[in-house]
Each structure stands twice: as C-alpha cells, then as structure tokens.
Amino acid sequence: MNVLGERFTKFEKSEQLKRRAHEIIPGGCHTYAKGDDQYPLQAPGFIARGAGSHVFDVDGNEFIEYGMGNRAVTLGHAYPPVIDAVRKELTSGCNFTRPAEIEVACAEQFLELIDTAEMVKFCKDGSDATSGAVRLARAYTGRDLIAICADHPFFSTDDWFIGTTAVDAGIPEAIKKLTVKFRWNDLESARDLFEKHPGQIAALILEAARSEDPAPGYLAELKRLCHDNGALLILDEMITGFRWDNGGAQKYYGVGADLCCFGKALANGFSVSALAGKREFMRLGGLHHTDRPRVFLLSTTHGAETHELGAAIATMRIYRNEPVIEHLFRAGARLRKGAEQAISRNGLSEFIRIVGKECCLAYATLDKNGQPSQSFRSLFLQETIRRGVLMPSLVVSYSHTGEDIDRTVDAIDGALRIYSRALEDGVERYLMGRPSQMVYRRFNDPSYVPQT
C-alpha cells in the first residue's frame, strides 16, 4: 500500500477498470468533470472510499483531497453525523406512494437558513433546479428568452444552456436561439440585452460570485434592472450556497433573488438540490392558485428520498450549530498563504496563480508566454498527485486540518520545482503522456485515445 507522502506512478487496478469502463460507459464515468480527459495519465482512476479530507483509491493509495466531490462535500467524506442520519432514515424505507413527514421538516430547516426565500421544492441535481427556475420564470413573465452570464461556466445539462456551448450536438437551432448572454459585473451589457430584446427576456441567471466578488451594488442594480424590464433575477447558488454564508451568497452580499437554486453542499454530497424563491413565483407550481396556468415545476420519482433529506437536515443543523463557514475561510486562507509563498519562493508568480475566495479556491496554470495551459495544469496535477495530494481545485472542507494544509503546501512546493524546470526545458519532457482537455470542445482530440 502506498501511504501519504510517498512518490508512486502505478495505478494498476485503476487502469484495468478504465478499460472496462470505456467499453460500457460513454466517457468512462457518469460525470464529465470526473473523466479521464480531465486528469493526467498518472492519476487515480477510481476512488474506493473517503474519510474526512482524505480519499483512498482502488490501488490503496491515500490522498489529501481538495476536489471534495466537485465542491459538494463541505463537511468531509463519510461525515459521521450525516451518515448516522442517513442510516436512521433507511431503516424505515426511502420512497413511498405519498410524501414523507421529513419533506416538511427539511423544507422548514432550509427556509430557516435561506431567509430570502419563502417556498422551496427539492430535487436531485443542480440542472433540474435551474431548469425548473427557467420554466417558472417563463411561465410567470410569458416570455421565452433566458439571459445567462457568459462568464460563468455551467448552469445545466439541459438544452437551454448546453446549446450555448461548444458541445451543442443534438440540440435544435430553435432552442439555441432562446438563450442570450450578458457579461459579469457589467450592467451595461445586461442593459443592452434588454434594449435589443424588448419585452422578450424572462430572466437573467448568474452565480452571485465566482473568482471575485461582484462590484459594490452590482447585484442590487442588476435585480432592479430586471424588474424595471419585467424580468426575474435567478441566482445559481450551487457553489456559493453554504460556503459563502449559511444563508447563501444572497445573505453575504445583501441581495435576495426572485428565484435561487442550491445543491452540492446542501447535503454533504448526497443528492439533494433545491429550487427556492418568493411565494409569488413559486406558487405557480402548486395546487391552490386559479389566476394563472399551472406550471409542471419539478416532479421526479426519487425527488424526495427520505435518507437524502435526512442527510440535508443533518448537514444544515451542523452549519447552524458549528463554525463551518468560519473554518472554510480560515483553512482556505492558510492554504492560500502557504501556496502563494511557495509560488513566490520558486519564482513562479507570473506562471501560476491562486484564485477565488478562501472558502472556494482554485488555481490558474500559465505557460512561458503567460497563456492558460492545459499541459502545465496536467503537469501540476501529476506532480501533486505523486506527492499524495489530489487537487483539481483547492476547495477545503470542515475536515481539513492544519496538518493537511501544511502537507499540501509541501507537495505544492515540490511540484513547483518541476513546473519551473518545465518552463525552461519544455513541458513535454516532464509530463507523462497527453495533457488534460477542456470539457467544452466540439470534437474529441484525435491524439487522445483512451485505453479500451
């Protein structure tokens, strides 16, 4: 077994599983962000288990992890109070012909924290929640166009969004024309859209923040602009929710959206997402209004499984009773400081940067010309993996300790020494195999042929 800190290059069982996976699963996995094309060749292919801030792959290698289930695991892997809540619910069954009492309890707990919303409906993933918000906005306004923030990378797997990306195969042109774009932190960009499409835009959807805070007053003015033009403001809080603040980025920035969408950290990795908002809009998905047509809002067989709502309740109680958010900011600040010191120490400040808020950090890798580079990203990942750290991002959890952070900084420092050599000698001398690729690409790169 390879233990934390050793250098290793073999992932024999992972390689066997990869070959089989690509034979029977398109892409080799069920989430594109977890695919082989997103990682260097020398990387764990399959995770066997997680514990707190550490994961163990199928070959027995242990890593300090910072992807945390694509930012869904905020407390830590297999967090005992959450697992206990899940186990308790499962002993009574998980899915019934009529609603379960826990559906009301979970909604009450959610609305207690997200006090900018008045009603909530749970579903399974972020795409269902955002697409539900889009449908609701169109029904309320009687308009067809949806405006998305062009600078935010992902809103849904559904056609209204994917049709705007390079991976738009199979999406009708008529659908693509129903989505338009505005720029982040640019009120004039949104204003221009309303002028170009008067009386046609149902809603603007964006994340409240990403790698930087919004300009002072931007979100409030954007909401005002929407309302002045008869449109709704939808905030996608999949990432910011339960990281920026227990009440979401809306509370952090002091702006309540008309509709908002939560997921990821809502249930510490269990599949629960939420569409929430003002009663005026949400009621259209209900049974008691007669003044407007009904909206078939969200309705899935597995939309409110009891064990997953149990996980959400337990997770939200921990947010409410323990300093989770404070820890995320504190641990992230320690990680950022150590990483930036290592970058400076290796003379690489022009080539690798730590970006984002302390509770949700990432990094940018640049080549010798200062351009974003997938090859250098792959090299950096390869070298941190060899040093016992799996970090597609630098997202901390409540379980990350000071010792974890310090070991991570040591791994980053070692990886940067290789990075520096690669800038001088050429990255191809140090990167084993092909580089990782962008998810949004129209065609697969012929140079990348997965082992099958």
Contact by Cβ (8 Å): 8, 2: yes
List per-block mean pLDDT (blocks of 10 residues) for the chain, which spans 452 residues: 50 87 85 81 90 96 94 96 97 94 97 96 95 98 98 92 93 96 97 98 96 95 98 97 96 97 96 97 94 91 93 98 98 98 97 96 96 95 96 97 98 97 95 79 69 46
Q: Give the model's pLDDT for residue 22.
A: 84
Q: Give the model's pLDDT for residue 6.
A: 45
Query: How far, in Å, CA of 109 to CA of 104, rounded?
Result: 9
Residue ranges of domains in the chain, CATH in brackets? 12-78+323-429 (3.90.1150.10), 95-304 (3.40.640.10)
Q: Give the model's pLDDT for residue 27.
A: 84
Q: Give the model's pLDDT for residue 97.
A: 92
Q: Give the model's pLDDT for residue 5.
A: 45
% helix, strand, coil for the chain, step of 5: 40, 15, 45
Q: Give the model's pLDDT for residue 4.
A: 44
In this prediction the pTM is 0.92
Q: Give the model's pLDDT for residue 1.
A: 38
Q: Give the model's pLDDT for residue 440.
A: 63
Q: What would the two tokens of residue 25 be?
A: 């699963």
Q: How many CB atoms lie within 10 A of CB 171?
A: 17
The DSSP line for 147-197 is EEETTS--S-SSHHHHTTSS--TT--HHHHTTEEEE-TT-HHHHHHHHHHS
The secondary element (H helix, E strand) that includes residue 62 is: strand 62-65
